[in-house]
């Protein structure tokens, strides 16, 4: 086999990010000025954004022998990814500095995690998918434990690592089964071979079970959710913010690549599995969130239920072998994820804003009387909470609307009814946050301070949730466009 130099151009954003991550590492080591590290990191993300944006050409290109796909779907997801990570950095900075966690490693690991997510999004091959996943996961394990003196964080990191490693094992095992049945690791080729009747169905379905279990773990859906509350709760809030936001975009991408590109022929099987995962997540996530007094844990359970809702979109794409509603359903799932990332960034950002040196504002009670301390940020938090509850004129409503109509289009009326009944349960705990902010008297009157850039960005974040809710067409079209190119691509 001759060695052919692969075409590097489609992966130029990834290559840029990798190089810059190494530069940041060195600059931080030798210059030792944190603001410079921070600035370079942000510039890296901006640069990657620019590269991705200006290399969009509407074509689907594969490189590295089919390992890496550069299509519109990937480009548009990445364009959502960079701002999300940049926002994480803006929100985290003050928090990290106050806790003496503002270390160069944080920035380097965040960049590597971003690179991992980009590779996941562009993965055309089981191996590159797995590599991206592990790159993200290993960076996150280390980030969770970055506050080494915190026993809680260390415990969370251990739990995350052990369970995460097991999930990776499951995923790999499932992939190996699929490989055994089809003789290929390239996702598109796997799809073609199965479509042509290749591979032993029993082996394929057996492998599929493990693949779905592995993906479910990464998404954090019931019954593979056990790590989510503990990690969200135990990790420093800045890291929780990272875990709870951008990786959901990458997770959607690998679910789409694995299940839709690779295993679409087995849709009847994985749809049933996803239905169970989705229903359980919506039910358990919403019920368990009620009992939480810690806001981070509450948002963790809320994340579980939101991922369940997102799966509603993914599982509604193919109705009895008929892919007519695929575009509608998958674009709804994508819209849901983008909306969720926006809301999740804002909600964890609010926790970071209220936290001070030596004080973590992570209990719901810490938001008591926020309306008296800062009417503006109370309003922002209220927008975020009502949006997460799926109230209209906020983006969360149209996200739920989109996946519900996808489910009803797929004749899954019962699942839609089930989902809305549990979102009623969900409304209760979001309302409780609004209640403590607006109906209760504050226990401490210390003013809300935080870096100016963070306060501005957080305000814009909240307003965006309202504005995209009022005029969702743009983002809906964006998701349609991305999904369309994804579906046409194979």
Partner 1 sequence: MSGLPLLSLAIWLPVIGGLLVLATGADRNAGLARPLALAVAVAGFLVTLPLYAGFDTQTSAMQFVEMRDWIPRFNIHYHLGVDGISVLFILLNSFITPLVVLAGWKVIEDKVAQYMAAFLVMSGIMNGIFAALDAVLFYVFFEVSLIPMYIIIGAWGGPNRVYAAFKFFLYTLLGSLLMLIALIYLFFQSGFSFSLLDWHELKITLTAQTWLFLAFLVAFAVKVPMWPVHTWLPDAHVEAPTGGSVVLAAIMLKLGAYGFLRFSLPIAPDASRELAWLMIALSLIAVVYIGFVALVQTDMKKLIAYSSISHMGFVTLGFFIFNPLGVEGALVQMISHGFVSGAMFLCVGVLYDRMHSRQIADYGGVVNTMPKFAAFFMLFAMANAGLPATSGFVGEFMVILGAVKYNFWIGFAAATTLILGAAYTLWMVKRVVFGAVASPHVAELSDIDAREFAILGALALSVMAMGLYPFPFTEVMHASVDNLLRHVAVPKL
Interface with partner 1 (CB under 8 A): 371, 375, 386, 391-393, 397-398, 401-402, 404-405, 408-409, 413, 416-417, 420-421, 423-424, 427-428, 431, 434-435, 438-439, 471-473, 476-477, 480
Q: How far is the CB of 411 from partner 1 (least distance, A)?
A: 9
Q: How far is the CB of 486 from partner 1 (least distance, A)?
A: 17
For partner 1, the closer CB: 237 or 305: 305
Nearer to partner 1, 24 or 310 (CB): 310
Q: How far is the CB of 431 from partner 1 (least distance, A)?
A: 6
Taking the complex as a whole, the smallest distance from the CB of residue 316 to partner 1 amounts, in Å, to 12
Count Cβ atoms within 10 A of the Cβ of residue 84 and give its class: 0-12 exposed, 13-18 middle, 19 or more buried.
Answer: buried
Smallest separation (angstroms) from partner 1 to the CB of 413: 7
Q: Which is nearer to partner 1, 197 or 447 (CB)?
A: 447
For partner 1, give the closer residue by CB, 163 or 480.
480
For partner 1, the closer of residues 434 and 482 by Cβ is 434
Q: Could you tell me the smallest distance in angstroms from the CB atom of residue 117 to partner 1?
A: 27
* Closer to partner 1 by Cβ: residue 130 or 418: 418
């Amino acid at each position: 086999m001759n060695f052919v130099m692969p075409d590097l151009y489609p992966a130029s954003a990834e290559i840029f990010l990798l190089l810059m991550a190494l530069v940041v590492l060195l600059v931080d080591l030798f210059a030792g000025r944190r603001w410079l590290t921070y600035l370079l990191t942000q510039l890296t993300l901006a640069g990657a954004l620019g590269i991705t944006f200006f290399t969009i050409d509407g074509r689907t290109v594969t490189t590295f022998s089919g390992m890496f796909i550069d299509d519109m779907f990937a480009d548009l997801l990445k364009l959502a990814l960079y701002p999300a990570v940049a926002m994480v950095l803006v929100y985290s900075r003050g928090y990290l500095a106050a806790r003496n966690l503002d270390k160069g490693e944080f920035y380097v690991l965040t960049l590597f995690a971003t690179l991992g997510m980009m590779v996941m999004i562009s993965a055309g091959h089981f191996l590159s998918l797995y590599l991206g996943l592990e790159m993200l996961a290993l960076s996150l394990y280390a980030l969770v434990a970055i506050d080494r003196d915190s026993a809680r964080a260390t415990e969370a990191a251990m739990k995350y690592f052990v369970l995460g490693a097991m999930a990776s094992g499951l995923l790999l095992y499932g992939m190996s089964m699929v490989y055994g049945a089809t003789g290929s690791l390239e996702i598109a080729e796997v799809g073609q071979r199965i479509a042509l009747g290749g591979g032993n169905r029993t082996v394929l379905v057996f492998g599929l079970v493990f693949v779905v279990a592995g993906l479910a773990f990464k998404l954090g859906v019931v019954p593979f959710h056990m790590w989510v509350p503990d990690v969200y709760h135990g990790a420093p809030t800045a890291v929780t913010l990272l875990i709870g936001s951008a990786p959901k975009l990458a997770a959607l991408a690998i679910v789409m690549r694995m299940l839709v590109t690779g295993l679409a022929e087995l849709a009847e099987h994985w749809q049933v599995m996803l239905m169970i995962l989705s229903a359980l997540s919506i039910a358990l996530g919403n019920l368990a969130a009620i009992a939480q007094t810690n806001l981070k844990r509450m948002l963790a359970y809320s994340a579980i239920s939101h991922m369940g809702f997102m799966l509603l979109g993914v599982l509604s794409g193919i109705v009895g072998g008929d892919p007519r509603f695929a575009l509608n359903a998958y674009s709804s799932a994508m819209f849901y994820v983008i909306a969720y990332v926006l809301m999740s960034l804002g909600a964890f950002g609010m926790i970071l804003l209220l936290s001070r040196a030596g004080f973590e504002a992570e209990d719901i009670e810490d938001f008591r009387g926020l309306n008296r301390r800062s009417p503006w940020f109370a309003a922002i938090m209220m927008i975020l909470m009502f949006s997460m509850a799926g109230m209209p004129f906020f983006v969360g409503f149209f996200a739920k609307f989109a996946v519900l109509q996808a489910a009803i289009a797929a004749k899954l009326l019962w699942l839609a009814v089930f989902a809305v009944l549990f979102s009623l349960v969900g409304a209760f705990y979001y309302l409780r946050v609004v209640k403590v902010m607006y109906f209760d008297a504050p226990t401490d009157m210390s003013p809300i301070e935080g870096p100016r850039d963070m306060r501005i960005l957080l305000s814009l974040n909240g307003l965006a949730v309202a504005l995209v809710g009022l005029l969702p067409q743009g983002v809906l079209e964006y998701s349609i466009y991305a999904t369309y190119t994804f579906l046409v691509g194979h």
